[in-house]
Structure 1
Amino acid sequence: MWRRIYMLLLAVRLYFSLAPSYIHPDEHFQGPEVIAGHIFNWPTVRTWEFTVEAPIRSFFPLWLVYGFPMKFLDWVYPGAEPPEPIVIFYFLRTMFFLASFVLEDWALQELLATPRQRRISLSLLASSYVTWTYQTHTFSNSVETIAVLWSLVLMERISKSKSWVFLSPAALGFTVVFGVFNRITFPAFLILPAYRVIPHFLRRPVSVLPLIVAAGLTAALAISVDTFHYAPTSTSPIITPLNNLLYNSKTENLAHHGIHPYYTHLVANLPQLLGPALLLLRAPLSSPVLSAIGGVLTLSALPHQEARFLLPVIPLLLTSVTLPQGLLRKRVWIASWMIFNAAYGTLQGIYHQAGIVPAQTFLATTNVTDVLYWKTYNAPTWLLGPLSARTNTTNLMGAPVSTLLSELASKSNCTGEAYLAAPLSATKLDPLLDAPELPFRLEMAWNTRVHLNMDDLDFGEDGVVPTLQRVVGRRGLGVWRIRRRECEEV
């Protein structure tokens, strides 16, 4: 029975992986946006992490995770032209789905001792909205989850070995260095469970040599890749994890990204990710639980805390869930777990900022020269493909109407093709659509109802019910052609 449920949940995971929701800008701008520009020569945006004097993001994991798949797709794609950006988008999402299904589930199965534990934990993982959404999006945190789990698996294999081993220590050395260059927080998840491998290395010191050699070679390769990208003519190596550590050690730097109370992960982010499962956690000091404890404690000591930073913690803690005793209690808990994940999955995996990717795909079929995005996340320019070379994208975010009016007036002209993308819930846009006193008018060119803008909630000014009626009732994203009146009169 549980296998049929697991296969059904696998189909659900695939469905969410192919839904165009947009959870956080980092899923584009810290991965596909950067690498697509290198491979296809499309002008793309590099965020501050890649442009500061001491860059803090490594190209090494980006090439392994995004670059080689893009190269492969470009190689197998029929025709002389590179694949359309939306094809690349779905190809990467499919790869992250496969990584979640194959590598994450496989690792969790290896870390659990009994068939009953495996059934329960794999069923919980497969039915978690975190697996459906965050883990199938192109986040570095999703990659970190896989690296953490397989580091634990390799540690278990080494600790259980009764002879000298080569492959597992070498693989561990590569995985640890890869994890550090992917996210500087990665070692936090290995500090406590590392005790499992120490006795083996003390008994057979020669086993540590493959680990050291693999780690050293991987680090040298990663530093070489970063130095080539950032300072090809410099004689000084670029060590991005060190730059990252130095940057994040200064509170004034983190203040630019938001300072949170130290208890945010514990009282807000974990409940948001685990929901009812948080009530059923037990505390056996297994490797997964120790890894989760080390990760949560370390990340909680940092003043900037976002829920996605805890992605590796979710499969680790799900290994320690014990279902309630008694049929009624068990059914009540399962119902609450299903409702929780269905609600969050629908929000995060289907509707959240979900119109932006299709809007960019639509714009890629036009002759757009200017596009304004208002009250949305930043639009990934890589989704415009070669059209991004002559398209000026302006992300106004939550700018006031006066700023929007100024930009609309400046972008409307008789030579270019300008568009505005904005949520349908932005009612302050309504009077501007065809106001005779304005030098332009807005003509609807494309829209979708599958878009929810949670940043547009304003309970204080509008009240709870009117705000929900506007944001949910008028959900969607529209793209308007900006037409200058004097141009139409000619």
Structure 2
Amino acid sequence: MKLTRYINQLLLRHREIDENWYLYLFFAVLRIVLVFIPQKGYIHPDEFFQSVEVMTGDHFQLEHVRTWEFNNTMPVRSITLQFFLLRVPWCFLEFFAMYVRFYLNIELLQSYTYLVFPRLIMCLLSFVNDWSMYRICRLYGLQYEMRLLTLSSSWIMLIFSTRTFSNTIELALCSLLLGFVAECMIKTNTILYKKEILEERYEKAKSISERVKMWRLCRALPAHNYTHTLVLASICVVGIFNRPTFLVYGAPIVFYWLLRGMGTRSITFGDFNLRMLLFCLSAIPALIFFILCDSFYYKYLTIGELQMLQVGINNFLSTPWNFIKYNLNAKNTADHGIHPKYIHILVNIPLLYNVLGIIALVSFGQLMFRFFRAEYQGLPRAQSIISLMSSAIFVPLFFLSLINHQEARFLLPLLFPIVLMHAPKLYHGICATYPFKEEHPLLRQIYKTMLSTQASAKPLLKTWYMCNIGLAIFFGFIHQGGVFPLAQHFEMIMQTKSPAQHIHLITSHIYSMPLTFVNIPSLQVLHLNRDTAQRYRRQKDFYIYEYGSLKMPQLIAKIKLIMSHCDMKYKTKQQKYRLFLALPASLNDDFVTELEKSVNTKSYIQEPKLLRLFYPHLSTEALPRLRVWQDHPHIGEELISFVCQFGLALFELQPHREYKLPKRST
């Protein structure tokens, strides 16, 4: 009977493993598929303007926005990693596109490619997280199927990890660092355990031959003291140059690498110091490489200066130091927004990790409760994998909470340790056994209804999937989802318009539009005419005016000012222009109403012509409004109108023909 029950449990276990593994493969493939659909959602402007906008514009000589982080006076963004991740692959794609254009007459270098190709690179990089998770689980004998499934089903992996954020690279580097440190920890512990056993047998050996045998076995043990020193140091340098906040993520992880084996007879405090010294020395090659690359890119250092040996300390640039200096100034961080210290814990952790994040916070609170009650036996060992992962979560969370400016994406690297530690609780419940020290009917009831395996596993797992699906749809396809189609639309307009026509675009209540998606050749470089083999410089014929969340009367005043300027500029030169306005569809009625209110503007501007609506699109700065009352006779119409507001409207504006420009005074 017991044998039958045991066999049934094994079969059930294997069936569960197979289901988790197949589901993981499904989400892994889905991660790649979502790159090519593509996701039109726009999470944050830094997704483009801190990486792909500059790299694509520089490489293909396109008009692009170069943000303040990349100015030559005090650059705060390293270009080296972005160069190798984005610009080098662009070279291969450009070479391939040349043959596709020649043999198939298909143009690959367009806005779709500029969006998808960098995301594909980031998507491939995201599988570093999966590999590190699998590696740690195999090393420590953990169930990797459910952890990989939880990792791949997170909306962070489906959406964030395929976007060109520096935080996405930071997530992959932290996972890689944790993987190597965890491997070093278990290797050191295993070798030291074997060494102590052999030394003990050596001391107890009675014959010389047995002692010689134990001595040889002890000498044959592999080296472990400085394993992966160069790799770990290089990862830390890359992480800091990618984003200096890697200091608070990497420091606790590296500390556990330095701490390995401390407290045993073989490892002393001298080994700790020597490891630290060798770690710092191993970081020098990568440090020099990044400093030289950034110095050359930002023109702090030139080949001529090297040849003439006219090189000083001012010729070398350290972008992480500039980043730190900039953010130490409270006025600079205030320009980007000041948030309360509790935003990360109360808002951003639940937003990113929902029930898993709450479980992690509660579990850490339980550890602190045991610590302050001096229940040290219930705490994990100082050099265990649990301590490593707990430090990788809460040390960075503490220091990042002290910063005035807090965004959810700053906490992306916490995903890996949170999933590794707490993913099984989604499937097996929060507590397998009664967790309270005292026996009490109320506590027993709380355990049965909320914490036990049967009570909590299924609701937690359902909540996890529902939250991740909802957030993936919202941030992947709805949030600011009309900006990229708008750029594609103007790419087509710029390719089909006449050379003498000028395009002006006004935007309001939407995120900044990356100019590289409009695919306009740069005005700053000389282009080659393939027919005449002559060099020429393009004249500016595309203008964009981005007004953020400007109030409607002020927006209309700006429109009138731009239109009057265009009339004066182009009509005197016998040139044509087209003026467009893009704003969320939820503001259409407000725009038309305000336009009718303004007498002067109404006599000057014709009734705006709605050209196109881009769906879906949602701007949190202009949320749709539902005006439905209990006694409202047209509830259906209001619901349809409410749904139609989830779009981005594109208007064309024209002046009245009978309106005459005022004569310029002589």
Say if 1:350 and 1:15 are closer, same or farther in 2 by CA, change over 3 A.
farther
For 1:260, the equivalent position in structure 2 comes to 339
For 2:445, the equivalent position in structure 1 comes to none
SS of 1:437's equivalent? Answer: helix
SS of 1:342's equivalent? Answer: helix
Normalised to the residue count of structure 1, the TM-score between the two structures is: 0.89
* Whole-Å separation in 1 of the counterparts to 2:142 and 2:119: 31
Which segment is superposed worse, 140-149 or 47-56?
47-56
Which segment is superposed worse, 40-49 or 437-446?
437-446
Report how far residue 156 of structure 1 moved.
2.8
Q: 1:430 aligns with which of 592, 599, 618?
A: 592
1:228 partner amino acid: F
Give 1:84-95 correspondences, 5 Å limit.
84-95=110-121
SS of 1:97's equivalent? Answer: helix
For 1:373, the equivalent position in structure 2 comes to 507
1:156 partner amino acid: A
> Contact conserved, 1:369 with 1:418, CA < 8 A, in 2?
yes
> Contact conserved, 1:40 with 1:82, CA < 8 A, in 2?
no
1:36 partner amino acid: T
What's the RMSD between the two structures over aligned residues? 3.2
Report how far residue 327 of structure 1 moved.
3.9
Which segment is superposed worse, 57-66 or 351-360?
57-66
Give 1:30-45 correspondences, 5 Å limit.
30-45=50-65
1:423 partner amino acid: P
For 1:385, the equivalent position in structure 2 comes to 519
> Contact conserved, 2:166 with 2:242, CA < 8 A, in 1?
yes
Say if 1:388 and 1:450 are closer, same or farther in 2 by CA, change over 3 A.
farther
> Contact conserved, 1:133 with 1:349, CA < 8 A, in 2?
yes
* Whole-Å separation in 1 of the counterparts to 2:76 and 2:639: 40
* Whole-Å separation in 1 of the counterparts to 2:343 and 2:335: 18
- Unpaired runs of 5+ residues, structure 2, are 1-18, 189-221, 261-266, 303-311, 365-379, 381-385, 430-451, 495-501, 524-539, 661-666
2:471 partner amino acid: Y
SS of 1:191's equivalent? Answer: helix
* Deviation sequence 1:122-162 (CA, Å, 0-9, x none): 11111111211112111000010011111122223344264
Indicate yes or no: 2:649 matched with 1:478: yes
- Unpaired runs of 5+ residues, structure 1, are none
Aligned length: 487
* Whole-Å separation in 1 of the counterparts to 2:408 and 2:84: 25
> Contact conserved, 1:33 with 1:380, CA < 8 A, in 2?
yes
For 2:254, the equivalent position in structure 1 comes to 194
> Contact conserved, 1:454 with 1:471, CA < 8 A, in 2?
no
- Percent of aligned pairs with the same amino acid: 23
For 1:302, the equivalent position in structure 2 comes to 403
* Deviation sequence 1:14-55 (CA, Å, 0-9, x none): 344331110000000000111112111112111122227322
Q: 2:578 aligns with which of 392, 396, 417?
A: 417
Say if 1:487 and 1:477 are closer, same or farther in 2 by CA, change over 3 A.
farther
Say if 1:486 and 1:110 are closer, same or farther in 2 by CA, change over 3 A.
same
* Whole-Å separation in 2 of the counterparts to 1:123 and 1:401: 47
SS of 1:394's equivalent? Answer: strand
Say if 1:462 and 1:374 are closer, same or farther in 2 by CA, change over 3 A.
farther
For 1:132, the equivalent position in structure 2 comes to 158
> Contact conserved, 2:42 with 2:481, CA < 8 A, in 1?
yes
For 1:110, the equivalent position in structure 2 comes to 135
SS of 1:425's equivalent? Answer: helix
> Contact conserved, 1:417 with 1:481, CA < 8 A, in 2?
yes
Indicate yes or no: 2:384 matched with 1:275: no
SS of 2:512's equivalent? Answer: coil
Say if 1:165 and 1:195 are closer, same or farther in 2 by CA, change over 3 A.
closer
Give 1:146-225 correspondences, 5 Å limit.
146-159=172-185, 160=187, 162-163=222-223, 168-199=228-259, 203=271, 211-212=279-280, 214-225=282-293
Which segment is superposed worse, 22-31 or 421-430?
421-430
Report how far residue 393 of structure 1 moved.
1.5
For 2:551, the equivalent position in structure 1 comes to 400
> Contact conserved, 2:258 with 2:276, CA < 8 A, in 1?
no
> Contact conserved, 1:439 with 1:486, CA < 8 A, in 2?
no
* Whole-Å separation in 2 of the counterparts to 1:430 and 1:221: 57
* Whole-Å separation in 2 of the counterparts to 1:214 and 1:72: 32
For 2:294, the equivalent position in structure 1 comes to 226
Structure of greater Rg? 2
* Deviation sequence 1:442-473 (CA, Å, 0-9, x none): 333332221111121399x9999999997755
> Contact conserved, 1:13 with 1:131, CA < 8 A, in 2?
yes
* Whole-Å separation in 2 of the counterparts to 1:224 and 1:487: 62
For 2:83, the equivalent position in structure 1 comes to 63
Say if 1:457 and 1:469 are closer, same or farther in 2 by CA, change over 3 A.
farther
1:238 partner amino acid: L
1:314 partner amino acid: L
* Whole-Å separation in 1 of the counterparts to 2:493 and 2:470: 36
SS of 2:171's equivalent? Answer: helix
For 1:444, the equivalent position in structure 2 comes to 610
* Whole-Å separation in 2 of the counterparts to 1:155 and 1:27: 30
2:247 partner amino acid: P
> Contact conserved, 1:158 with 1:169, CA < 8 A, in 2?
no
Say if 1:328 and 1:251 are closer, same or farther in 2 by CA, change over 3 A.
same
Report how far residue 438 of structure 1 moved.
3.8
